[in-house]
């Protein structure tokens, strides 16, 4: 296990960077100056960084994922791999964390929109739905995921599956949340 990996696992276990004292046993040293020396090396290598007060802060690569271009473009050669942009999944997917929830998808009503049973959807509450949004709606006491459509002032729900007919709500139509992202894990 490299020093880098040890620090990363400490960071994820404690949700903060280790102090020099905590790095002593972690990096198998017996003096803080040895740690200081090792830390300087890691900083030179771009593994970690320091803030203006000397505290260690995680480098972006500790939390971010490298983003490449298109599938067709494929992977760059190791030489140019440094040019790759990085992205934080959390920041990318979550706007208002307080209002964001994750739901597991049941059924096949949105299969033509590429949302399959078992997928996870990130939904956000408290937003005003626009026509064309995918929403979580409460219809007659039950929850469903459908397209939210508004045509000629009339609101209805439409599945992304030809087997299902549009739903024209009889009573009230409560839009509980709006689907912001779909996540499928293999």
Binding site for DNA (CB under 7 A): 19-22, 29-39, 50, 53-56
> Cα–Cα distance between 10 and 147 in angstroms, integer?
44
C-alpha dihedral sign at 7, 67, 91, 138: negative
Identify which of residues 14 and 40 has a Cβ nearer to a second copy in the complex.
14
Q: C-beta of 133: minimal distance to a second copy in Å? A: 7
Q: Is 140 helix (H, G, I), strand (E, B) or coil?
A: coil
Q: C-beta of 48: minimal distance to DNA in Å? A: 11
Residues belonging to the active site: 109, 146
* Residue 74 binding partner per list DNA, a second copy, none, with a CB distance cut-off of 5 to 8 Å that depends on partner kind: a second copy
Identify which of residues 54 and 78 has a Cβ nearer to DNA in the complex.
54
> Cα–Cα distance between 23 and 39 in angstroms, integer?
9
> Cα–Cα distance between 173 and 156 in angstroms, integer?
9
Q: C-beta of 64: minimal distance to DNA in Å? A: 23
Binding site for a second copy (CB under 8 A): 8, 12, 14-17, 51, 55, 57-58, 61-63, 65-75, 84, 87, 89-94, 97, 100-107, 111, 114-116, 119, 121-122, 125, 133-134, 136, 138, 142-145, 176-177, 179-186
> Cα–Cα distance between 103 and 120 in angstroms, integer?
6
Q: C-beta of 18: minimal distance to a second copy in Å? A: 11
Identify which of residues 34 and 113 has a Cβ nearer to DNA in the complex.
34
Backbone dihedral angles phi then psi of residue 60, each to the nearest 5 degrees: -55, -40
* Residue 72 binding partner per list a second copy, DNA, none, with a CB distance cut-off of 5 to 8 Å that depends on partner kind: a second copy
Instruction: Classify residue 167 by its DSSP letter.
Output: B
Identify which of residues 35 and 115 has a Cβ nearer to a second copy in the complex.
115
CB 8 within 8 A of CB 18: no
Of 165, 159, 129, residue with least CA distance to 144: 159
Instruction: Classify residue 18 by its DSSP letter.
Output: P
């Amino acid at each position: 296990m490299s020093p880098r990996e040890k620090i990363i696992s400490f960071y994820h276990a404690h949700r903060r960077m280790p102090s020099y004292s905590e790095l002593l046993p972690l990096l198998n040293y017996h003096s803080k100056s040895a740690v200081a020396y090792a830390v300087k090396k890691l900083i030179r290598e771009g593994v970690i960084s320091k803030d203006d007060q000397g505290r260690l802060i995680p480098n972006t690569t500790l939390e971010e994922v490298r983003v490449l271009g298109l599938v067709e473009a494929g992977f760059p050669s190791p030489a140019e791999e440094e040019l790759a942009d990085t992205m934080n999944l959390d920041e990318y997917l979550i706007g208002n964390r307080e209002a964001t929830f994750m739901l597991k998808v049941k059924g096949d009503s949105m299969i033509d929109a590429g949302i399959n049973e078992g997928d996870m959807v990130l939904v956000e509450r408290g937003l005003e739905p626009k026509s064309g949004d995918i929403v979580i709606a409460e219809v007659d006491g039950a929850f469903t995921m459908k397209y939210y459509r508004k045509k000629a002032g009339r609101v209805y729900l439409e599945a992304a599956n030809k087997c299902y007919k549009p739903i024209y709500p009889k009573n009230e139509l409560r839009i509980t949340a709006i689907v912001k992202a779909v996540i499928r894990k293999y």
